[in-house]
Structure 1
Amino acid sequence: MKFKLLFSFAVSICFIGCSSSDDIVETPTNNNPKNIMFIGGINKYYALDSGTGQLKWSFSVTNGTFQYSTAFYSNNVLYVGCTDKYLYALDATSGNLIWKFKTNESIESSVFVSNNTVFFGSDDDNFYAVNATTGELKWKYSTGFNVSSSPTVSEDIVYFASDDGNIYALDQNNGNLKWKYYAGDIFNSSSASIVQNNLYIGNRNGNIYNINKLTGELIWEKQLGSSIENSSPTILDGYLYTTDKNSLYKIDALTGNIVWQSYSTSYSSSPYVNENYVFVNSSSGNIIVIDKQNGNIKWQKTIYSNSAEAVATNATVFIGGGGSNYIYALSENDGTERWKYPINSTTTSAPVIINKDGNLVYPSKSGGRN
């Protein structure tokens, strides 16, 4: 398993409100419960009331952490990976275990569910497709190194990156290779974002790639200042947002040209973008909220976020506090604390929200990104 610092690195989309895939960002949940926040910590996975911060349930494991894998919600089931090598299917109402599936190493990849199939990667160098109802293996595909980058599905193809330096496109029904593109360095937790026929992703060599999702051919690449391996790109209204160690970038998604560049002491998460702001974290412990039109800082707050990833909906920002051992809900406009929930561990996990309108909101890191 790759070495990761809980206090330095983690990771962070909606086309209509935050990041991208040619699916949607906020997905109706068909009259399922509303105002729920799902988030992982060390040894526990939590469901909280997103309006009040009260605990609904928690699910415990003996050894392992849910810090890295972001859950996917489907038909009142949460699917999430753990560093104890298991993928878990949990009842989203009660937190009860439905089934679990074991791989040979930690699961840091987030999850995508499509056609009753759960897609995810493992640090055992394999990419898996598992029956969402039974937990039985459908197929797996072996790569040359860890798969901690998260998958996304578009039409009949599942896309993911491996730390062998390749981006893969597989037939989601049988795992047959459609194409692969060699980018020459590891992706770590940077995951692909798809808009129409364009696949965007960055990696350790500091490049952002725009690749034709149908053919695997390079459309453009842009060299930024340093590694992008801990940031997944967010696409909104024709612009790409991403971070490297020292800067947040707004980039023209069509051409790759930089629109603005916002400097910080050390950005350490993927950006979450909505109609007004960009939300991002720094390894100094601050959540930073930036005006997406000009790149100016709107507000920042020290919560020792330690690379935790934010999600914003209903004028509220939800985020794990990392070193402060709290989960927070903050006013999107000025950072005023709405509530905080104490946990007995750090958390750099990214939250998944079912908001007050019954829509699902995912972070950029997630396979369920919108």
Structure 2
Amino acid sequence: MKRHLGLLLIIGSIALLFGKAIAAESGDLLGSLKSQGQIWSSPKVDGDLVYFGSDDGNIYAYDRNSRKLKWRYATGGKVRSSADFSANAVFFSSDDGLLYALDKRSGKLKWKFNLSDKDAKRILPAGYAPWVFDYTKSSPVVDGNVLYIGSSDHHLYALSISTGELKWSFKAGDRIRSTAAFNDSLVFISSWDGGTYALNKQSGELVWQHISQTRVVSSPTLIGDKIIIGSRDTRIYALNAQQGHVLWVYKFSNGSWVESSATKGENDHVFYIGSSDNKQLMKFDANTGKPLWTFNTQGWSWGTPTYNNGRVYLGATGAEKNWTTVKRGFFAVDAVTGKEHWSYQPRPINDYVHGGVFGSVAVNNDEVFVPDLDGHVYIFKM
């Protein structure tokens, strides 16, 4: 069922005005969290707080229950990184070139690390050349006492989560905008040089590499014994995680980039992924690379799907004056049938990418937290 955000906001306001308790149904708007800039990061829930970054340069922590701002922390650039956590800290990076470790409860700075990419110039999506579309950011991932994060200075860094001390770094051939994945022995990262690299977790030494035909913006995803990657060479690759050899390749015949990262489904045998000009959410057999169903999003599905309790959530961004019609959208899709369960129409913003949803949702206690480019995280009934 399609929802229009403006109407949902009006209905919610009327309910609050008259103090009426209205039983929420799946897809109903429950509330929102606000920033002052576009939200390209993915909200993350930890305990009773929701964390997200904004293009206004702030990191926000909102109380999940009261919807009230707990704290915010100002950086010197866009915050398109998503969060990860240790027991007491939350980690984010910013376009000011720094990685921040903040106290989760107070937002006070614990330490910061210089990623040496403050001067990296973004060429954001536009309807003219060069077609760089540099809109993503590597996010930190925590693995025990170590944090991994990529940088536009071409490096993947491994840091101590308690002090920010550098343990090792690995240099790729171009910017790293992807987010790392890891297993017991290896950490995986992709780069604009087209490479996907498997590194020894202890030393950072190269174990294997796979080179696609052009830039890789999406992040490698570990599903069972496979690494799934999407590339702007119009292909999805499945690689053996330990040796790196290619298990299968899926190619989009219409030349669609694959900006989206894969998400594991209900087991290790299936995954979900979006596409760019193909404008689809797709479910794949992880063993064969065969599509199991496709869902038309009508817009650029650049983000990473979220699978939860039999549903798949994915947004789409829209654009003005593109060579094909590209519409804003957000969708909750049945994981078995590929049919829409509910959706909403995001409001327009004044930009070439004229709105929609890029970041992945967070699902917590029957609530879906959706990061909208209009500067809000909207909360829907699951």
Q: 1:299 to 1:84 in 2, by over 3 A?
A: same
Q: Number of matched residues?
A: 307
Q: 1:138 to 1:50 in 2, by over 3 A?
A: farther
Contact (CA 8 Å) 2:173, 2:192: kept in 1 or not?
no
Letter of the 1:289 counterpart: K
Task: State the identity as a percent.
Answer: 28
1:172 shift after superposition = 1.1
Residue in 2 aligned with 1:162? 151
- Structure 1: distance between partners of 2:100 and 2:48: 22
- Structure 2: distance between partners of 1:114 and 1:227: 32
Higher relative contact order (CA 8 A, sep 6+): 1
Q: 1:311 to 1:305 in 2, by over 3 A?
A: farther
Residue in 2 aligned with 1:271? 262
1:96 shift after superposition = 1.2
Residue in 1 aligned with 2:225? 238
Q: 1:279 to 1:355 in 2, by over 3 A?
A: farther
1:83 aligns with 2:55: yes
Alignment of 1:109-128 (within 5 A): 109-128=81-100
1:330 aligns with 2:351: no
TM-score by length of 1: 0.79
Letter of the 1:180 counterpart: S
1:359 shift after superposition = 12
Deviates further, 328-337 or 346-355 = 346-355
Contact (CA 8 Å) 1:287, 1:305: kept in 2 or not?
no
Alignment of 1:34-113 (within 5 A): 52-62=26-36, 64-67=37-40, 69-113=41-85
Letter of the 1:244 counterpart: S
Letter of the 2:249 counterpart: Q
TM-score by length of 2: 0.76
- Structure 2: distance between partners of 1:305 and 1:289: 17
Equivalent residue for 1:204, pick from 188, 192, 198: 192
Stretches of 4+ aligned residues off by more than 3 angstroms: none
Residue in 1 aligned with 2:169? 180
- Structure 2: distance between partners of 1:355 and 1:185: 40
Letter of the 1:66 counterpart: I
* RMSD over aligned Cα atoms: 2.1
From the CA coordinates, give the structure whose radius of gyration is larger.
2
**Structure 2: gaps spanning 5 or more residues:** 1-22, 121-136, 319-326, 349-355, 370-382
1:129 aligns with 2:101: yes
- Structure 1: distance between partners of 2:312 and 2:73: 32
- Structure 2: distance between partners of 1:311 and 1:99: 27
1:192 shift after superposition = 0.4
1:143 aligns with 2:115: yes
**Structure 1: gaps spanning 5 or more residues:** 1-48, 361-370
1:222 shift after superposition = 1.3
C-alpha distance after superposition, 1:270-309 (max 9, x if no partner): 1112224221111122112222221112221221341132
Contact (CA 8 Å) 2:270, 2:283: kept in 1 or not?
yes
